């Protein structure tokens, strides 16, 4: 694979749309669950999308956000991530989400969200540097190849609401000068005042961002270069670089048909950053865009629950409860970090509930207990299937049952109080020995014939129960 805009390669594998499929886990760190039990599980109610040949099925595991805001400068990040993908894959990660990969206005200092040349991945001397903040084009190529060798899908961060770094031109639509004359060194996607708001198509866009030049997606030149043509951004990123899916930045800034048009053209997993805590609004957007959305409703309810010491908020409306197939859950990301004291409890929540969970790089690699996160990832991938019933909920305690497949499933008990708590609960297992798969409790109780059992959870902690 060569990342050269002058040459295109033939697509070897077709992307397909969202579909249900049997999920077989490649993670065998905990042998208590047999291969036969795992093979009987179907990923009902979560994101599942077929991938390129040899890769894991997106939605069968967990996504890793493989960066944070202001990662180290100096072009080392792609190599840093490359060194970690084998361990991540072994832990049960099925996809890595990278920051925007193309050259941006601030060159070697930019996190990529001020895009200038969509086809410069660190090989052209412009915007003050050759490499991007993250590294060179060849280092990106090596990272993608290594991720694919380990079965991981690679998700591109797509910033198509705005651009930055254009030259000044006399703009007939504003009556003054605007920085809307783009002449990228790659020779790809020249654009000018006609491609931005305001223009001859419409007078403006109510959702501009940060004073940046605002792309007009109704213009034919913009559509052709972003997704329609054979050398479009979408096709090039898929066929030449090897991206397997898309994370769309600031989708409030443009209409949802843009995301749908993109994925209709090139396929692939897609999730949008629609920053809104209203589950109904998120549900509407996913239907219009034909894509998933980060579950900000879940994020804000978890913040209220764990930081506000009110676990009743976990009973509130969230996208995963309305449409788990379209919900991508998260505890924090490069823009948000409002859950502090209860962060492990929040991960226990998203990694045992419906939706497609995301783990944040710094939480996994720096801030939290990696062994505990790996344990929850294993539980998610191997035990936490089926529909969800909330069994108990008050300010300090939350208990839910995942009903599983073939009589497996789990019961998760989250305890935000300062002491051990215990409760009798209804399970799906009659006269069965159960255990806490987190190891926090040493109990191995036997369920009653009527399927009831007493379980416990540690202070400021959690337990996850299933048949032994």
How many angstroms separate the CA atoms of 6 and 165, rounded? Answer: 23
Q: Name the pLDDT band for 212 (thresholds 50, 70, 90).
A: very high
Q: Name the pLDDT band for 21 (thresholds 50, 70, 90).
A: very low
Tell me the catalytic residues: 249, 273
> Cα 385 from chain centroid?
19
CATH fold label, 393-467: Immunoglobulin-like (2.60.40)
Q: What is the pLDDT of residue 183?
A: 98
Distances (CA, A) of 297 to 239, 345, 426, 453: 34, 17, 28, 32
Note every long-range contact of 425-429, with CB atoms under 8 Å and residues 24 or more positions apart, other chains counting: 425/391, 425/392, 425/399, 425/401, 425/452, 425/453, 425/454, 425/455, 426/391, 426/401, 426/451, 426/452, 427/401, 427/451, 427/452, 427/453, 427/465, 428/401, 428/403, 428/404, 429/467
Rounded to an integer, the average pLDDT of 2-26 is: 32
Does 161 carry a binding-site annotation? yes
Whether pLDDT at 41 is above 50: no
How many angstroms separate the CA atoms of 61 and 242, rounded? Answer: 20
Per-domain boundaries in the chain: 35-164+202-382, 393-467
Phi/psi region, residue 422 (left: phi>0; alpha: psi -120 to 50; beta: rest), is beta
- Tokens found for residue 264: 């209709």
Rounded to an integer, the average pLDDT of 232-242 is: 97
Whether pLDDT at 408 is above 90: no
Query: To which H or E segment does residue 344 belong?
Result: helix 343-350
pLDDT over 70 percentage in the chain: 88
Q: Name the pLDDT band for 2 (thresholds 50, 70, 90).
A: very low
Q: Give 180-200 pLDDT, tens digit per residue.
A: 999 999 999 999 999 999 999
Cis peptide preceding 198, ω within 30 of 0: yes
Q: What is the pLDDT of residue 242?
A: 97
| Mean per-residue pLDDT over the chain, rounded | 90
Whether pLDDT at 241 is above 70: yes
Rounded to an integer, the average pLDDT of 3-9 is: 36
SS3 299: helix
SS3 71: coil
Whether pLDDT at 49 is above 90: no
Q: Give 278-335 pLDDT, tens digit per residue.
A: 999 999 999 999 999 999 999 999 999 999 999 999 999 999 999 999 999 999 999 9
Which one, of 69, 118, 149, lies nearest residue 361 by Cα? Answer: 69
For the chain, give percent helix, strand, coil, nearest 5.
30, 25, 50
- Tokens found for residue 19: 């579909």
Other beta carbons less than 10 A from residue 231's beta carbon: 17
Whether pLDDT at 205 is above 80: no
> Cα 114 from chain centroid?
21
Rounded to an integer, the average pLDDT of 359-384 is: 97
pLDDT over 90 percentage in the chain: 85
Q: Name the pLDDT band for 33 (thresholds 50, 70, 90).
A: very low
Q: Give 332-352 pLDDT, tens digit per residue.
A: 999 998 888 899 999 999 999
Orientation angle between helical segments 343-350 and 370-382, nearest 10 degrees: 20
Rounded to an integer, the average pLDDT of 423-430 is: 96
Whether pLDDT at 26 is above 70: no
> Cα 16 from chain centroid?
18
Q: What is the pLDDT of residue 197?
A: 96
How many angstroms separate the CA atoms of 81 and 135, rounded? Answer: 11
Q: What is the pLDDT of residue 50?
A: 55
DSSP assignment of 98-163: PPP-SEETTGGG--SSSEEETT-SS-S-BTTBSS-SS--HHHHHHHHHHHHHTT-EEEEEE--SEE
How many angstroms separate the CA atoms of 357 and 379, rounded? Answer: 12
Q: What is the pLDDT of residue 13?
A: 34
pTM assigned to the model: 0.90
How many angstroms separate the CA atoms of 330 and 342, rounded? Answer: 13
- Please give the CATH superfamily to which domain 35-164+202-382 belongs: Glycosidases (3.20.20.80)
């Amino acid at each position: 694979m060569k990342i050269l805009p002058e040459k295109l390669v033939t697509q070897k594998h077709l992307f397909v749309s969202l579909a249900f499929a049997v999920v077989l886990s490649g993670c065998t760190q905990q042998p208590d669950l047999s291969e036969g039990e795992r093979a009987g599980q179907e990923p009902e109610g979560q994101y599942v999308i077929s991938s390129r040949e040899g890769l894991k099925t997106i939605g069968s595991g967990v996504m890793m956000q493989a960066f944070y805001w202001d990662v180290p400068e100096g072009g080392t990040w792609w190599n840093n991530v490359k060194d970690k993908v084998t361990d991540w894959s072994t832990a049960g990660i099925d996809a890595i989400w990278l920051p925007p990969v193309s050259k941006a206005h601030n060159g070697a200092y930019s996190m990529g969200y001020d895009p200038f040349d969509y086809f410069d991945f660190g090989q052209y001397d412009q915007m003050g540097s050759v490499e991007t903040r993250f590294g060179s084009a060849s280092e990106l190529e090596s990272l993608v190849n290594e991720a694919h060798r380990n079965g991981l899908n690679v998700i591109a961060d797509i910033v198509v609401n705005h651009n930055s770094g254009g030259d000044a031109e006399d703009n007939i639509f504003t009556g003054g000068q605007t920085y809307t004359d783009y002449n990228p060194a790659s020779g790809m996607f020249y654009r000018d005042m006609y491609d931005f708001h305001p223009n001859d198509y419409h007078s403006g866009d109510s959702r501009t961002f940060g004073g940046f030049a605002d792309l007009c997606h109704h213009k034919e030149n913009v559509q052709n270069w972003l997704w329609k043509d054979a050398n479009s951004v979408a096709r090039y990123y898929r066929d030449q670089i090897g991206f397997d899916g898309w994370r769309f930045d600031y989708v409030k800034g443009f209409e949802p048909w843009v995301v749908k048009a993109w994925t209709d053209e090139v396929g692939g997993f897609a999730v949008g950053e629609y920053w809104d805590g209203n589950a109904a609004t998120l549900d509407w957007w996913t239907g219009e865009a034909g894509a998933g959305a980060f579950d900000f409703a879940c994020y804000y309810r978890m913040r209220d629950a764990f930081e506000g010491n009110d676990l009743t908020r976990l009973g509130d409306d969230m996208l995963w409860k309305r449409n788990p197939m379209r919900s991508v859950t998260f505890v924090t990301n490069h823009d948000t970090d409002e859950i502090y004291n209860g962060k492990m409890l929040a991960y226990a929540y998203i990694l045992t509930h419906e939706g497609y969970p995301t783990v944040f790089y710094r939480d996994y690699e720096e801030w939290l207990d990696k062994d505990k996160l790996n344990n929850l990832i294993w539980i998610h991938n191997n035990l936490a299937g089926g529909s969800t019933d909330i069994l108990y909920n008050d300010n300090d305690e939350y208990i839910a049952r995942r009903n599983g497949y073939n009589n497996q499933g789990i019961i998760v008990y989250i305890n935000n109080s300062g002491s051990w708590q215990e409760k009798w609960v209804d399970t799906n297992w009659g006269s069965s020995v159960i255990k806490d798969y987190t190891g926090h409790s040493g109990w191995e109780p036997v369920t009653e014939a009527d399927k009831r059992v007493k379980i416990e959870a540690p202070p400021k902690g959690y337990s996850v129960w299933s048949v032994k």
